[in-house]
Structure 1
Amino acid sequence: MNSAWTGYLPGIIREWLEGRPHLRKAVGNTGWLLFDRVLRMIIGVSVGAWVARYLGPARFGELAYIIAFIAFFQVIAGLEADGFIVRDIARNQGDTGVILGTSLRLRIVSGIVCWLTATGMMYLFHPDDTQICLMTVIVGAMLVFQASDTVDLWFESQSQSKRTVLAKLASYLFANGLRVFLLLTKAPLIAFAGVISLESAALAVALFVAYRRFPTDGRWRADIVQAKKLLHLCWPLATTGVMITAYMRIDQIMLKEMLGEKELGIYAAALTLVQVWNVIPATLVASLAPFVARMKSRGETEYQDALVIIFRFFAIVAFLGAGLTAVASPWVVSLLYGAEFRSSAVLLSALVFVIIFIFQGMAQTLWVINNDVRIANLVGTFLAALVSVIANFFLIRKFGIMGAVFSYLLAQGASVVLFPCLLRRDLLTLYTRAFLGFGSRKQ
């Protein structure tokens, strides 16, 4: 075993992993990522709930509105090229400096452009609301700082996630310590917006320090050919990312515009608890990406068998997590948020079942990257975003906050299962094998 924590796994799992060195390495790497994200989740939920209690539904909803708006630009600034960068480093170790250097410079430029664009658009939408515009400027600064995540991709490609863990944990503890200080000193809303960007800046510094201890062999440098290649590869996924953000965030923007900040705050509190579950699939996919790429290079049989196992495992974990959360939702909301947010419990008990689709969507990214089906994925996601906008428009009017819940579930199901399977028969075959137990492999 390459990681001490795997010694605590059940004996049957350890024996099964012994004959699979690549998978064993991925599992060991997953442990570091999971430790980081679970710890961040615990701290984030605890401090976040305290912040929500302090701000109340209305001001908490206003902050959620800014975050949802910036999220659209965050996807573009990040280029959505992580999977391709890790894959190319694994395949071409000698070009690591060029791959990473080009990615870093592209992200810095796109981050600055997105920051300025987000600020300008918010001013056009709310020219008389000085606080919202100022908060957009402050939170939007993170779009530039997130370029430092390029260092994380270097560590990920080398199964050195523990270095990223320590860097992210340090910045996360700093940010949440600052939030606690703001809570104790009864700071205004805008101060909590500032912490978001300060955390990104602190992470950039921490990753730079970590990189100095484990650098690449050569210097990072930008290359125009590599830049064109990267942009060609990532634009469908970046566009898809915007569409994903649309059907995952448009509900919050429409809730605020149609019902108000207070209703958005109640909805955002429930959604925050649902998003806690995203830690598991995101962590697993990050560590399984190199393993799945190797299975693809070995042959179609090994590759498809690996995906079937991953799809099944993700589904089991999602069903269990959704059921447990739905049952415990009244107690959880009461404990974390208090009486002002009691309405969030009903929303949470229904909204949490969206993680079934989210888990499968995350697993599907492994298939998308290795099968080069970015265009089909883009079309399906665009249709799902369209479903989300239309559904939210009508269902929020008819059912209020619960209409946003129904729309969210509908959009996720359409994005992950309905449209992809209609557009790609080979994906439908994979799902048939995974969940119905029959269907032939593509040779």
Structure 2
Amino acid sequence: MLRRIGNPDVAKALANIVWLGLERLTQIVVAIAISGLLARYFGPDAFGKWQYANTLLLVLSPITWVCGAEILVPTIVDRASTGLGSVLGSAFVLRMAVSALALAATWGWIAFGHLDPLVGAMLAGLAVTMLFREPLVGVINAWLQSMTYSKPQLATSMVTAIVKALLVYALVRAGAGFASFGWLWALEAAAIGGVLVLYYMRRHGGTLGWHFDGRLFRRFASAGTVFWVGLICMYLFLKLDRLMLERYISFADLGRYSAAQQLNENWITLALMLAQTIAPAFVYRVQDAALLRRNIVRLVAMTAALMIGGAIVLDLLAGFIITRVFGPDYAGAIDIFRWAVWLSVPAGIEAIGNLVVLKYQAKFVLLAKWLLALAVAFVVDWIAIPRLGGHGALIGLAAGYLAAASVNLYYIRFRLRA
């Protein structure tokens, strides 16, 4: 074991995992702190509009994820010594073009008055993040991933997240307009992108050295399309509850529901962190089918036990957590939160099963899974939300997660059959 840890590649991977964990925990703490500040400052109605604007952004953002890491990182590794500039330059042009079109379409949608005025004003600033997240941050982060060295990006994200929290506090104390907060998210994305560009240039003799290659551009535009559409479906599924609730409940009630779900989503993120941490050693590097099956069973059992234990604690502390983070005006979110935390169990099990799908690059399984989850959630939401409100939306999410986990189980049994 000591010899393995002494191996430079293993040591580098372990350091990367530590930085990833620190960055995720920092983001979770900062997100909760910012949400608590804004919830108290905005009040339930405006906070509901803020959360709805963020939901729309998170549904639109996956459009910019064309040429994902599963395509870009291996290409960088193959051309690291000869064609790195053309790889990064071509990926940047493709992602910037798609992001600019997505931003223009979003601003056009806002300008034509299809959204509540305050929601539109908030989204106008938030949407600018699309110009920086994938074209700059995403491309340079893929280069860092190819070296198993994400520390620069993760450290920058932690620092800018803390600075953003301080700026949010300053704007709250200054009594700033509600719409102005969206531009802080755009400023954060631009700062991260700028720092990473400077870091890349420092590592390459002070120049960027990116250039456009038409063949690579066309390859990137077509490769990974199935994964891309699958991810779009996944994020639409994750935010479908708030998109459909907006039609049936007030923004104040949506704000209370979103407050509960934001805390719950940070809790579910732990399941994804767990999956990302253990995947290389227990799934990706295991070639024997029988051993892989045993590992998956053990990982599912461990994840289920962790999620159930955590859900019990959060259920018991729901009232204390909601009132301390968001204030007494959000007492209506307590019951939603108590039920929502149990979604972590199917979400965690799905995340473990998804590792096998990713290991074998089963892109059509991924697409089919999230299409099914989206369809199931939509049907359940359509029936349950008008009758049960927020609780109906939780039932829709649970049904979607179970559908996705069922597809994972079927694929695992098919792929790892004896």
Q: TM-score, normalised by structure 2?
A: 0.88
Distance 1:232 1:358, change over 3 A: farther
Indicate conservation of the 8 Å contact 1:295/1:306, yes or no.
Answer: no
Whole-angstrom distance in 2 between the partners of 1:308 and 1:221 = 47
Indicate conservation of the 8 Å contact 2:110/2:124, yes or no.
Answer: no
2:413 equivalent in structure 1? 428
1:126 equivalent in structure 2? 114
Distance 1:328 1:65, change over 3 A: same
2:251 to 247, 261, 264: 261
2:31 equivalent in structure 1? 44
The reply to whether residue 356 of structure 1 matches residue 345 of structure 2 is: yes
1:191 equivalent in structure 2? 180
Q: Any gaps of 5 or more consecutive residues in structure 2?
A: none
Q: Secondary structure at the match of 1:195?
A: helix
Deviation at 1:342, TM superposition (A): 0.9
Q: Secondary structure at the match of 2:246?
A: helix
Distance 1:16 1:276, change over 3 A: farther
1:53 equivalent in structure 2? 40
- Give a deviation string over 1:362-390, Cα, whole Å, max 9, x none: 44444333313111221221121111122
Indicate conservation of the 8 Å contact 2:381/2:396, yes or no.
Answer: yes
Q: How many residues align?
A: 414
Indicate conservation of the 8 Å contact 1:77/1:107, yes or no.
Answer: yes
Q: Secondary structure at the match of 1:159?
A: coil
Deviation at 1:245, TM superposition (A): 1.7
1:275 to 265, 274, 299: 265
1:385 equivalent in structure 2? 374
- Give a deviation string over 1:61-112, Cα, whole Å, max 9, x none: 0011111112122001122612332344445544544433322221111111
1:317 equivalent in structure 2? 306
Q: Any gaps of 5 or more consecutive residues in structure 1?
A: 1-13, 431-440
Whole-angstrom distance in 1 between the partners of 2:302 and 2:230 = 25
- What's the RMSD between the two structures over aligned residues? 3.0
Aligned ranges 1:10-409 → 2 under 5 Å: 18=5, 25-79=12-66, 81-90=68-77, 93-94=80-81, 95-123=83-111, 126=114, 129-146=116-133, 147-149=135-137, 150-215=139-204, 219-284=209-274, 295=285, 310-409=299-398
- Give a deviation string over 1:351-410, Cα, whole Å, max 9, x none: 112222333444444433331311122122112111112211221111122111211222
Distance 1:42 1:132, change over 3 A: closer
Whole-angstrom distance in 1 between the partners of 2:120 and 2:48 = 15
Whole-angstrom distance in 2 between the partners of 1:215 and 1:350 = 51
Distance 1:335 1:104, change over 3 A: same
Q: TM-score, normalised by structure 1?
A: 0.83
Whole-angstrom distance in 2 between the partners of 1:179 and 1:375 = 42
Whole-angstrom distance in 1 between the partners of 2:304 and 2:355 = 15
Distance 1:108 1:290, change over 3 A: farther
Whole-angstrom distance in 2 between the partners of 1:23 and 1:301 = 25
Distance 1:17 1:60, change over 3 A: farther
- Greater alpha carbon shift after TM alignment, 353-362 vs 59-68: 353-362
Deviation at 1:175, TM superposition (A): 1.5
Indicate conservation of the 8 Å contact 1:256/1:263, yes or no.
Answer: no
Structure 2 letter corresponding to 1:107: R
Indicate conservation of the 8 Å contact 1:167/1:210, yes or no.
Answer: no
Structure 2 letter corresponding to 1:205: G
Indicate conservation of the 8 Å contact 2:354/2:408, yes or no.
Answer: no
Structure 2 letter corresponding to 1:28: A
- Give a deviation string over 1:291-326, Cα, whole Å, max 9, x none: 679626x66677666656654554443333323222
Distance 1:243 1:303, change over 3 A: same
1:412 to 401, 407, 412: 401
Indicate conservation of the 8 Å contact 2:283/2:356, yes or no.
Answer: no
Indicate conservation of the 8 Å contact 2:67/2:221, yes or no.
Answer: no
Indicate conservation of the 8 Å contact 1:351/1:409, yes or no.
Answer: no
Deviation at 1:25, TM superposition (A): 4.0
Whole-angstrom distance in 2 between the partners of 1:71 and 1:375 = 23
Indicate conservation of the 8 Å contact 1:145/1:201, yes or no.
Answer: yes
- Greater alpha carbon shift after TM alignment, 177-186 vs 313-322: 313-322
Indicate conservation of the 8 Å contact 1:86/1:156, yes or no.
Answer: yes
Whole-angstrom distance in 2 between the partners of 1:91 and 1:305 = 33
Indicate conservation of the 8 Å contact 1:126/1:132, yes or no.
Answer: no
Deviation at 1:332, TM superposition (A): 0.8
